[in-house]
Structure 1
Amino acid sequence: MAAPSGNQQAMLTTEPLSSDTTTDVLVIARTSAQFDYLTSSDTDADNADLFPTHRWAWYCKDPTCPQYWSAWSCKSNFWLHLFETEVHRADLRTHTRVGRRNLAREWRVKTDWEMTEPKQPKPTSHGTNGTTTSNE
């Protein structure tokens, strides 16, 4: 491995960067900054209200979706699914932030932290909005 350049060495220490602009500067992200970002996520805010050994999982409960009854452990990824899937883009509930939040709240399911509990079975009967009509 080659020795770090002056600018790279400065990033690894407290030395100021040199004024030489002819070399590319490699930006090294601090691990703690990445960790802080992940633990400040919207999912962690939702999980904060649960017992420490539990978390939320977000199920796609629209029977017309190709990923029907798939589950996400991160709410942002679930929202991304709503954005990327044509059937959800056609759903008026996903057109606003409030609508997406309400849908995520309706379709979330409590599970254990490691997500080792068996996945909930698919419902046998469906309402018009993708939610079950039977009383469970």
Structure 2
Amino acid sequence: MKVATEKKKQGLPYGMLFTHMFHILKVGMIEEIGLSSIFSAASSREPHLSKLEDSIAEIKEEQRKLSKNMKDIATSMKLGFEDIKKLHVVHTKHFGALDKEMRGLKHQVNNSIHVTRNVFPHSVDEFASTSTELQAYVKSSAENIIKAT
């Protein structure tokens, strides 16, 4: 009886069977089995078996539902990964095109900077020489005006 009680506490199915057997046979402390209890237990055996069969049927139905749910989850995950792969391909194409455009813009900016570096000093030199010429012209014009008066 002690073994069956411990098995029952552990929740093991065969422990439950031992418990039912002890109830059917009504084993006493002095290990005597009453014949009347065997015959009365035989008639009570039918409800226990039907309960066990019902329990097994419920477990199988629950297992079928869980199996279906797992299949649905697996299918959803596969579809999700396929969607992610498609998005990755599309984004890779878009980012590739964007990268090409950015490289083109980078080259344009670098060319503009290069031209500015070459043109700007030349423009400054040209402005300085023009400024010097203008100053000389203004000075000579001022001298001519002074001489004329």
Query: Do the two structures share a fold, i.e. TM-score over 0.5?
Result: no
More strand, by proportion: 1
Query: TM-score of the superposition, structure 2-length normalised?
Result: 0.19
Query: TM-score of the superposition, structure 1-length normalised?
Result: 0.20
More helix, by proportion: 2
Say which structure, 1 or 2, has more relative contact order (CA 8 Å, 6+ apart): 1
